[in-house]
Chain A
Amino acid sequence: MSTRSAETDRIALLQGTLDLLILKTLVFGPRHGQAIARAIQQQSEDVLLVDHGSLYPALQRLESRGWIDAEWGVSDNNRRARFYTLNRGGRQQLATGEAQWRRLTLAIERILGPSEA
C-alpha cells in the first residue's frame, strides 16, 4: 500500500466523540478491538482513521464506567480475542450522547451557514 496521506486528512477527534462512536459500533453486537477499529474506519468511508492502539484507552474508560462489558472469546478465525458488549447503561449513554451530538452539530451548522456548493 502506498504511504498514506491519511495524516493530513485526519480530523482530530474529541475524546468523548470517540467514546460515542465505539458505543455505536457495538449496537449490533459484541465486537473485539480490531473489529471495532475496522468498523469505524469503514463506516466512515475511511474519513476517520484512528490509530488502532489509541482505541484502547477509550475502551478501558468505557469499561471502567460500566457502559460496556468485556470477555475473552473466540473470533471467526478461531482466534482468542477480547470481545466488548454494549450493556443497558451503555445504551442509555449512547442515546444521551447521540442527542447531545446532534444538538451540537445543529448549533454549529446554524452558525456556519449552509455550505457553498
Chain B
Amino acid sequence: MWPFSRRDSDFDREIEAHIAIETEQLIADGASPEEARHVARRTFGNVTAARERFHESNRAPWIEPLLQDVRVAIRSSLRDRGVMLLALLSLALGIGATTAIVSTVDAVLLRPLPYREPDRLVMVWEDASFAGFPQNTPAPGNFIDWQARNRVFEDMAATMPARVNLTGDGTPERVLGRRVTASFFSVLGVQPQLGRMFTEDEDRQKAPVVVISHSLWQRRYAGDPAVIGRQLTMNDTAATVIGVMPPSFAFRDREMEFWVPIAFTPAQRALRSIHMLNVVARLKPGVDLAAARAEMRWIAAGLEREHRDNTGVGIVLVPIRDEVFAPSNRPGGAADTRQQLVVLSVAAGCLLLLMAANLANLLVARAAARRRELATRAALGAGRARLIAQMMAEGVIWSLLGGALGVAVAVAGLEVLDALIPVGLSAAVTPQLDVRLLLVAFGLSVATGVGFSLVPAIRESRVGPNDALKAAGGGVGGGWGTRSILITVQIAASIALLIGAGLMVQSLANMRAVEVGFRPQGLITASIALPARYDQVQRAAFYDRVLEEVRGVPGVVAAGFGSMLPFVSLGNTAGYRVDGREPIPGNPSDALFRVTTNDYLRTLGARLVEGRLPDERDGPDAPPVVVINKSFADLYWPGGTAVGNRIALNNPDAPWMIVIGVVTDVHERGYGIALKPGMYPLAAQVGSPVDNLVVRTTGNPQAIVPVVRQIVARLDPEQPVAAVRTMEEIIDLQVVDRRQQSVVLTAFAATALLLASIGIYGLVSFSVTMRRREVGLRTALGGSVWEVTRALVTHGLTLVAAGVAIGLAAALAGTRLMEGLLFGVQAHDAATFASITAIVLAVSAFACWLPAWRAARMEPMIALRQD
C-alpha cells in the first residue's frame, strides 16, 4: 500500500516529540534536565541519519534513477551535439511545417457549418444539362410546386441575391444580401442573436422588414442593441430592422449582410422561364437522400409533362456539405475542394512519416554508438531495465525538446504562409494554429522517440560486458538494415511530393498564361449601381457624364460600363433567334448576354476579327446593333461573314439587331470553362442598367480610384461606388484555390527534401564517424580518405537510387489522382519528372559526400585518439 508521502517536517516533529518524551521520563527518573536531554539524544542515535533514511525511503523509488538518467542523457547529447541537432531540426521541421501548412488550409476547408444538423440539408438544383447547366438555379414556379408536392422534406426555402444602396445614415454603401422565403431561417435551423426573423405573413405581404448580419451591425451601427426597430433606407425605400444574425452565420457566401422577404408576386409564382433561385431543403427525419432523390425526380417528371418550359428540366439534390466544398455557380473550373483535402492529408501524413523516420534513424544510430557505454554500465552493475531506461531517456528528451521547437516553428511558419497566400482567401478568416494537429504531431514525435529508442535499447542492452569493450568503434552493426529502409522511404516520399508540387506549380503558371480574350492588365473596375429612382433617360445621362469626366482624368486611356464583368458569372444568358435561320437542332439557342456602353469592349481590349466596334454612330435613335463573339459567328456563319446579319432576343417584340462586329471570345465564364456564343448589345439602345465601370489606365490603376469616387459623388452624393478591384484581382480569385494549393504543396515538398537530406547526411555521417579510427589509421598510413569512405558513400548513393526509383513509381501512380487539378500539363509530364529527379539526386549526392569531406579535413591523430 502506498502511504501518502509524509513531509520531512512531519517526521522531524516526530523525532522531536520522541526525544522530548524520553527527556521527561529521564527527568522523572531523577536525572538533571541537561543530563536527561543529553542521554535522550544519545539513546535516540544519529538524528541526521534517521532523517536521511526517512527522506530517501519516502521518495518514489524511481525518481532518483530517473533524474540521473535525464542528467546522463543531457550530458551525452551535448557531447554529440551534431546528432542531437539533426534530430531536433527534423522534429522542428516536421511538426512545425506540417502544422503550419495544414492550419492555413484548415481555416477554410474545415469550418463547421453554422446550421442545425447540417447533414440533413440539401441544395436543390434544376438539371438543365441539355443547355450546359447540370446544376441550374431553379425558377420560382418550379420551387413553389416542389414545395407543395413533396413529402420528403420538412420544408424548403428559396433565396436570391439582392444588392442595395444603403443611404441616409452615413456614407452611401453598396451592400449584398439575400431575398429569402420566411422558411429560410427555420430550414437552416438558425436563430438571430437579437430580435426575430420575419414571418410567413410578412413574406406574403412584402413587409418592409430586414434582418441584418453581425458584420453590418458592427460596422455601420456600432453594435448598438437599439438597432432593432431602426429604419434603414435601402434603394430609397425604408425598411425596419427586426433582427440581427449571429457572427458565425453565413449561407453560401460570407459577404451577404442582410435578409429581406422574397415576396413572390403571383406572376413570379408561375414563372418557369427565368432561373435565378438558390433552393435549400431539410430532409424529414428518417428519410434518406436516395428516397428524396427518387421522389423529387418523380415530381420533376410530372412538371415536365405539365409545362412546356420545363422540357428537359430535371432535378438534382446535393448535400450542403458537398456544396461548401465545390460551389457550383462560381467560376472555378474543377477545383474540387474535397480533392484538395485528400491531397493535403496525404502530403501531411507523408511529412510526418519522414520526420518520424529521421528521428528513428538517428536514435537507432545512437544506440549502436553507445554500445560500449552500455557495456561499461552493465559491467558496473546496472540492471537491464536501467540500461533501457537510460537509452530511452535520451530519445524522449529529444522528442520533447524537438516538439517544443516544432511549436515555435509552427507559429512562425503560419505567419510566413499567411503572407504568401493570396488576399482573397485569408482576408475572410485568419488561420489559427490547428491545436489538434499539433498534438498529433507532438504525440507522433514522442511515440517515435520512445519506440525507436526502446527497440534498439533492448537489442543493445543484451550485450555482455565483454562483447562491446573490445574492438572499439567496430562495425556499424545492428540497425543498419532498418536505417537503410528508412532512408529509402524518405527519398521516395520526397520525390513523390516534389513531383506533385511541380505539376501544381506548372498548372498555375499555365492557367495564368491562358489567353483570356482581352487584356486584363491595367484595368480597374467598380460597381456603380443606380437605384430605381433613376429612369432610363437619367441613367443614360449619368453614365455619359461619368464616362466623360473619367476619360478626362490624366492616365486614363478608355472607360466603359458593362452589365457584367468577365470571370464573375457562369451564366447570365438569354435565348435568341437568328434572322433567316432555323434553330440548330440540339443547340439551345442560348447566348451569353452582356449589355455594354459603346466603349466597353474597346476598354477591355477585346480583339476584333471582323467588322467594327460600336462608336458614336450607335446612339439611342440609331438602328439597334450588336457585337457577337467568334463562337457565335462560327456557329451560324462558319468561314463566312457574320456582319450584316440580324439577331434578336427570343421575345416576340424584341427588335432585330444588326451584327456590326465579331470579337474573339472573351472568356466571360472563367478559366478552363467551355466557351459559349455571346452577344454584346448596347445600353443606349437596349436600355437595361449597366452597373460595372471599367477603366483602362497607363499607370497604376489604383491611383485613379479616389478621382473616380469624387466624380461620382459630385454627380450624386448618395451613390455608392462599390467593389473596387483591378481586373487582375478578379481573375486571381478564380485561381486563389490553386495558388494556395501550389504554395502549400511546394512548402511540403521543400520540407520533405530537407528532411530527407538531413536523414541521409545523418546516416552517412554516422557511419563515417563509427569508422573514425579506421579512417584515421588509413590516412596516417598514406591512404586517401576517399578510398576508405568510398564504400560508405556508395552505400548511401545506392539507397538514394533505390529511393528515387520507388519514388518515381509512386509518383506515376499518385499523380493520376491529381488529374482533376491539373491544367495544361500531363500527369506524367516527362520534363517535370526528369528535373525533379535531377534535383533530388544532386541534393542527396551532396549530403552523402559532405561527411566524407569533413572526415578528410580531420587530422589523422585526432581520429586515432577518438575512442
Contact = CB atoms under 8 A, between A and B. Distances in A.
Interface of A: 1, 32-35, 37-38, 51-54, 56-57, 60-61, 63-66, 75, 77, 79-82
B9 interface: no
Contacts of B11: 56
A54 B45 contact: yes
A57 B17 contact: no
The CB with the most chain A CB atoms within 10 A, among B21, B49, B58, is that of B21
A29 B442 CA distance: 56
Contacts of A80: 13, 17
Interface residues of B, number: 29
A81 B45 contact: no
Nearest to A76: B21
Contacts of B24: 77, 79
B1 A57 contact: no
B7 interface: no
A32 B54 contact: no
A75 B3 contact: no
A79 B20 CA distance: 9
Tell me the dominant secondary structure on chain A's binding face: helix
Given A33-B18, A51-B44, A65 B1 contact: yes
Interface string B1-29: 11100000001011101111110110000
Contact of A52 (B1, B18, B49): B18
B17 A79 contact: yes
A54 B50 CA distance: 7
B14 A33 contact: yes
Contact of A79 (B21, B35, B46): B21
Contacts of A61: 57
B44 A77 contact: no
Interface of B: 1-3, 11, 13-15, 17-22, 24-25, 31, 35, 39, 43-47, 49-50, 53-54, 57-58
Contacts of B1: 64-66
Contacts of A33: 14, 17-18
A82 B43 CA distance: 19
B266 to A, nearest CB: 89
Given A32-B17, A64-B2, A80-B17, A52 B39 contact: no
17 contacts: A1-B39, A32-B17, A33-B14, A34-B22, A35-B21, A37-B18, A38-B25, A51-B45, A51-B46, A52-B18, A52-B43, A52-B44, A53-B44, A53-B47, A60-B57, A60-B58, A64-B3
A33 B11 CA distance: 11
Closest 3 CB pairs of A and B: A51-B45, A53-B45, A53-B50
B43 A51 contact: yes
Contacts of A79: 17, 20-21, 24
Contact of A56 (B3, B22, B25, B50): B50
A2 to B, nearest CB: 11
Nearest to B43: A52
B50 A34 contact: no
Given A52-B43, A65-B1, A66-B1, A57 B57 contact: yes
A80 B10 CA distance: 12
A80 B3 CA distance: 21
A56 B21 CA distance: 16
A79 B14 CA distance: 11
A95 B712 CA distance: 106
Contacts of B53: 56-57
A52 B39 CA distance: 12
Given A1-B39, A38-B25, A63-B3, A53 B17 contact: no
Of A34, A56, A57, chain B has the most CB atoms within 10 Å of the CB of: A34
Contacts of A53: 15, 44-47, 49-50
A113 to B, nearest CB: 37
A22 to B, nearest CB: 14
